[in-house]
Each structure stands twice: as structure tokens, then as C-alpha cells.
């Protein structure tokens, strides 16, 4: 799926930072793709982008109105429909990262058809995929993997792409989730692909390329997470990575969404992911370790990363605090 920029990010009546991670992601990584944000009166969060309504955004060149927040159940509140209708009447395409489909709202669907505009439900891929084959593809691929969900795989992937471009690499970020797709402008929401076709979709996401080209494939879930391991494994096999970067969040006491289930160690995570990755690329290696150290001080973060680096003989950084050049330097 492809999305036309620039975007107007609609935050609706969101009240917490986590609920606007789609909006925050694109505002942080691709602010040049945005004209601004549109917040309702009771919205309590912001991306920091300029505030503007639909008419002002259209005048500024916006092509797409993005429902860039999440709520419980992923539903579209009927109170937001008039804003969607207004955006359509200003000839904007509509993008949603929610579970409920835009096309299932009759007045939205009929108006979009009448005006020839796209309704893009990022979480619902419309492509047809084949099963994965595991055949060797040209080019190089790096996949970010984690000790748990939401440990920084997307931010690590984008940090890698940015640093590699600055160093002159031929490189692309390949988005596999709704936030990444909005940032990249295209991609596949891999967790919504039918299970038998996840590996094939992953192969499509990162096709043949020139020998010196790198694809940075955004990881999803974790092999050790009971709920999401299937998606992680299919993505792994299809990505056929030459390199892995292990992502970890400090001081998390239990896996996300599960009580009393400790995270695996970094050593266990390396072992699990290398074993799985070798099924489609026997030569895969771990290039480094990316740690979210936001729960500790700057001094503690440096000490912890140094200890992990020494233990595994691999570069270990917090990409937000330290940059990610050390890991890029370990790629061949």
C-alpha cells in the first residue's frame, strides 16, 4: 500500500502519548511529510507539529488525512465521521491505522467513490501474497528483533537507515507495521497477513536488489512472546536477514500484556533468533544490540551498554542517547 504525502495528522480527542504513537512516529522521523496536526478541543496530547484545521491543511498542500491514533478496540467513533467527510470534501485521501475499516462506513465509502479518493486501512493489506520459498535473493538485509514487543525495533530500524544514509550506504527502511508504513509511505502490515502467507509477504517486502543494497526490515513482536511469535517467525523467514540487531528495554518486569512472565535474557534471544534465521540464511550474524535505557540515568545507561558490549563482544548502544554508528560500523 502506498500513501500520498503531505499528511494532516488527526489526533481526535486522544488523551495519552501511547495512543498517538503513529502520529509521533511520523512527526519524529518524517516531519517533512506533514503539514501539521488537527486536535479536537479535548485532546490532551500533541506531536509538536503546527496546529491547523482541514481547510488550512488543504491550503498548505495536504493530500491525505490520517487517523493517526489508537483507541481500545480500534474503532472509529461516529463523532469523528464528520471530520472524515470534511476531509473528503477537501479532496483528501483518508488513512486509518484502526481495526475498523473505513470502507465499512457507508457515507464515507460512497463519498470517497464519488470523488475518486482512496480509503486506506493500513492494518488490512489488500495485496495477494504467495507462500514463502526461502530462495536466496540478491542484496543485503538487516532485521531488528527483540526480547519483547515494543522494545524499540522501529526506532532502531529508522536510526540505522538514517545513519547508513549519512555514511553513504544504499539503504531503504522496509515497514512491516502501521506506524512504519505511515513513516515510509508504503509497506505491509505483516501482523494482518494470513498465517500461511506471512513469509511470502515478507519476501515481497524486501525483493531482489543490487548486491551492495541494504534493506532494513522493521521487526514485529518477539519469538519469545506467546501471542506474537508466529508473526515474528514468518517475518524472520521471509526477510532472510544477513544481519540481526537485538532490541531490549531495560527494567521491564514482565512481557507486554502478560503478567508474571519474565523477558528472556539477551543471550537466549540471540540463540533463538539465530536458530530461526539460519533456516533461510545459514550465514546470518548478530551485528549489535540496541537497548532502550530511558528508565535509567545517562551515566547508568553508558555503564550498562558497556557491560553488555563486553559480555557479547558486540556493539551495544541506546540509539536515542548514543547514536547507532557503532552498529553500522559492524556491518560488512
Q: What pLDDT score was predicted for residue 152?
A: 93
Partner residues linked to 214 by β-bridges? 140, 171
Cell of 182: 505511515
Report which secondary-structure segment, H or E, holds 66: strand 64-67
Q: Give, as one character, the DSSP assignment of residue 36.
A: E
Entry field: residues in the chain: 332
Residue carrying C-alpha cell 547507532: 324
Cell of 36: 501539521
Mention every residue, 6+ apart, whose C-beta is less than 8 A from residue 225: 148, 149, 232, 255, 256, 258
SS3 content of the chain, % helix, strand, coil (to 5): 40, 20, 45
Residue carrying C-alpha cell 523477558: 263
Spatial distance between the Cα atoms of 99 and 70, rounded to a whole number of angstroms: 9
Spatial distance between the Cα atoms of 318 and 38, rounded to a whole number of angstroms: 32
Domains belonging to the chain, first-starting first, are 7-121 (3.40.50.720), 140-328 (3.40.50.300)
Q: What pLDDT score was predicted for residue 1?
A: 64
Predicted TM-score of the model (pTM): 0.90
CB-based contact 120:96 (threshold 8 Å): yes
Q: What pLDDT score was predicted for residue 196?
A: 96
List the pLDDT tens digit at each of the 332 positions of the chain: 689 999 999 999 999 887 898 899 999 999 999 999 999 999 999 999 999 999 999 999 999 999 998 877 788 999 999 999 999 999 999 999 888 999 999 999 999 999 999 999 988 888 899 999 999 999 999 999 999 998 999 999 999 999 999 999 999 999 999 889 999 989 999 988 999 999 999 999 999 999 999 999 999 999 999 999 999 999 999 999 999 999 999 999 999 989 999 999 999 999 999 999 999 999 999 999 999 999 999 999 999 999 999 999 999 999 999 999 999 999 97
Q: What pLDDT score was predicted for residue 69?
A: 86
Spatial distance between the Cα atoms of 193 and 121, rounded to a whole number of angstroms: 13
Report which secondary-structure segment, H or E, holds 164: helix 153-166
Amino acid at each position: 500500500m502506498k500513501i500520498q504525502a503531505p499528511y494532516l495528522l488527526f489526533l481526535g480527542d486522544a488523551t495519552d502519548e501511547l495512543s498517538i504513537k503513529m502520529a509521533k512516529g511520523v512527526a519524529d522521523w518524517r516531519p517533512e511529510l506533514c503539514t501539521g496536526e488537527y486536535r479536537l478541543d479535548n485532546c490532551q496530547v500533541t506531536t509538536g507539529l503546527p496546529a491547523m484545521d482541514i481547510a488550512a491543511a488543504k491550503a498548505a498542500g495536504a493530500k491525505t488525512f490520517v487517523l493517526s491514533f489508537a483507541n481500545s478496540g480500534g474503532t472509529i467513533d461516529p463523532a469523528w465521521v464528520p471530520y472524515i467527510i470534511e476531509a473528503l470534501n477537501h479532496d483528501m485521501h483518508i488513512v486509518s491505522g484502526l481495526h475498523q475499516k473505513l470502507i465499512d462506513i457507508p457515507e464515507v465509502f460512497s463519498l470517497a467513490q464519488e470523488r475518486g479518493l482512496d480509503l486506506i486501512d493500513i492494518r488490512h493489506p489488500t495485496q495477494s501474497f504467495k507462500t514463502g520459498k526461502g530462495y536466496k535473493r540478491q542484496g543485503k538485509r538487516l532485521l531488528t528483533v527483540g526480547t519483547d514487543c515494543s522494545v524499540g525495533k522501529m526506532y532502531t530500524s529508522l536510526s540505522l537507515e538514517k545513519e547508513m544514509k549519512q555514511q553513504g550506504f544504499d539503504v531503504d527502511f522496509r515497514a512491516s507495521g502501521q506506524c512504519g508504513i505511515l513513516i515510509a509511505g508504503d509497506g505491509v502490515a505483516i501482523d494482518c497477513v494470513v498465517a500461511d502467507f506471512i513469509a511470502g509477504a515478507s519476501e515481497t517486502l524486501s525483493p531482489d536488489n543490487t548486491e551492495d543494497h541494504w534493506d532494513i526490515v522493521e521487526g514485529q513482536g518477539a519469538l519469545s512472546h506467546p501471542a506474537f511469535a508466529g508473526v515474528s517467525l514468518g517475518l524472520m523467514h521471509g526477510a532472510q536477514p544477513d544481519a540481526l540487531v537485538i532490541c531490549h528495554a531495560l527494567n521491564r518486569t514482565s512481557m507486554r500484556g502478560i503478567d508474571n512472565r519474565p523477558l528472556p535474557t539477551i543471550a537466549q534471544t540471540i540463540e533463538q533468533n539465530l536458530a530461526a534465521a539460519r533456516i533461510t540464511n545459514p550465514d546470518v550474524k548478530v551485528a549489535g544490540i540496541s537497548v532502550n535505557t530511558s528508565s535509567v540515568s545517562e551515566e547508568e545507561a553508558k555503564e550498562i551498554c558497556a557491560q553488555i558490549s563486553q559480555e557479547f563482544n558486540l556493539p551495544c548502544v541506546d540509539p536515542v542517547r548514543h547514536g547507532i554508528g557503532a552498529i553500522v560500523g559492524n556491518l560488512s
